[in-house]
Amino acid sequence: MVNLRRSLVINFFSSSGAALLQFIVSVLLARMLSPSEIGVYSMTVVFVNLAHVFRDFGVSTYLQRESVLTPDKIRSATGVVFATSWLIAISMFLASDWIGRWFNEPEIVPVMQVLAIGFLFIPFGTVTNALLTREFAAEKQAIVMAVGTSSFCISCLVLAKLGFGSMSLAWANLINILACAIAYIPLRPKNTPWSPSFRHWRSVAHFGLGSLLTSCTVAINNAIPDILLGKMGSARLVGLLSRANSTVTIFTYVAGSTVNYGAVSYLAQTYHRGESLIPTMSRATALLTGVGWPALALTALLGHEIVLALYGATWLASVPAILPLTIAAAVGMTFNYIHPAIVAIGRPYLSAIPVLVTLTTRIGFGVALFDGGLTGFAWALCWASLAATPIVIMQQKRYFQWGLIPLLRAMVPSAWVAIGTTAAGAVLNLVIPADWPALVRLLVMLTPLALFWYLMLRVTRHELLEEVHRMTATVKMRLGRLLPTV
């Protein structure tokens, strides 16, 4: 737990810093690129994310979850990930022209071809990253993240300024992959084999197939909104939906990968020791919702101001989609750790069931409720997310003996923190003059809302309070070492 907590702190600051830079870049790009240009890239990334599922083939999760990891198993995992990645790269490159014609968007073709080239270099860092996560070596991963993020941000802004349009994002993505692959070389764990092999490929493939089923359904489920909206609507609507999603996931930008960092490895180790996963999952969910629910509620309340301040008036048409997307995100956050727990006990395929329900209902609701605009489509996505909730609850009860009532009981403090913080935000929204610039209004609200959130943590005796105090003490101690004594 000590190693995991230290790694989580390192990962939080590194991923938050990277997320902050990427968020600033997204804000600048919103003023440099048109909704259609961003929409073209978003539509292309849908297929790229789906390809990533097949490329990984569950190798990363296999390396994190395996109880005894030998050099031969690592070589076999390396061989599998190289074979799948290069096969996917060739397939994507060849399919790019057909996909561009299907969407009637010729600009998709060069974007996808550049992104396909990146798949040739991704395997050089995949195995190393998985092994570092298994060892909770967050400090080494932070170095790679800094190299990749800075490469992406600089190249993206320069290329966009030079007029590359949607291609600026594609080339920046390729530069990021190359930079990370090079950065991983000196950071490989000691005695990690370099040469690939297929000696134990069956054990990798056996686990990978189960993981692939879930990952594939998740990727398709994530892709459905952009595919449907791109086919029934336009690239502009896809761009607006992407911007609404970006607004809703601001918390994810801030938290970065810390939310799920090391979850599979830690839960798998707990499971292999024969211990119950309920205490860990309950506490992790309470900590996540304690900060995530208030953030989502405030995003729904202040969506207009956030979009106007960050992206400009051009993107205000995305605001009506924010409320339904925040509701869906809040529900998903409640069951965030069910998937890594199911993977940890060696049954990754079970996670595919609720995702399949969501996927099916997304298609049905999306087609039925689409009226040519964004709002009805966003509510369709929300209803689809809610439809899968009973399935997740049943899995939680059956495989972890964790019923709905104990879960809700554990979430009560988080609910009160979210309600109280949102009420304070509503009051501030009324008190602060409406004619002030949106960014100024948000900055004025920031400190009072943070203080009220902390007050609600104390009032509800939330589990997150202990972590806040521990993190604050750590920061003070480190600052005390850095600053000269007066």
Question: What's the pLDDT score for residue 259?
Answer: 60
Whether 206 shows a pLDDT value over 70: the answer reads no
Question: What's the pLDDT score for residue 486?
Answer: 41
Question: What's the pLDDT score for residue 298?
Answer: 95
Question: What's the pLDDT score for residue 273?
Answer: 80
Question: What's the pLDDT score for residue 485?
Answer: 46
Crossing angle of helices 404-431 and 389-400, rounded to 10°: 140
Residues 465/458, Cβ–Cβ less than 8 Å: yes
Tens-place pLDDT, residues 155-203: 989 998 888 888 898 999 899 999 988 998 888 887 777 777 777 666 6
Q: Which of 276, 287, 379 lies closest to 333, judged by CA?
A: 287
Write down the pTM of the prediction: 0.66
- Residue 474's pLDDT band, with cuts at 50, 70 and 90, is low
For the four alpha carbons of 64, 67, 69 and 73, in that order, the dihedral sign comes to: negative
Tens-place pLDDT, residues 46-91: 778 777 767 766 777 777 777 777 788 888 888 888 888 898 899 8
Enter the tokens of residue 202. Answer: 């069956």
Whether 264 shows a pLDDT value over 80: the answer reads no
Residues 18/83, Cβ–Cβ less than 8 Å: no
Cα–Cα distance, 263 to 251 (Å, whole number): 19
Question: What's the pLDDT score for residue 3?
Answer: 54
Angle at 371 between CA 366 and CA 372, to 5 degrees: 100
Tens-place pLDDT, residues 401-459: 888 888 888 899 999 999 999 999 999 999 999 889 998 999 999 999 999 999 999 99
What is the rounded radius of gyration, in angstroms, for the C-alpha atoms of the chain? Answer: 22
DSSP 298-314: HHHHTHHHHHHHHT-GG
Question: What's the pLDDT score for residue 426?
Answer: 95
Whether 335 shows a pLDDT value over 80: the answer reads yes
Tens-place pLDDT, residues 210-226: 666 676 777 777 778 87
Helices (H), 57-107: 59-65, 71-103
Question: What's the pLDDT score for residue 295?
Answer: 93
- Residue 232's pLDDT band, with cuts at 50, 70 and 90, is confident
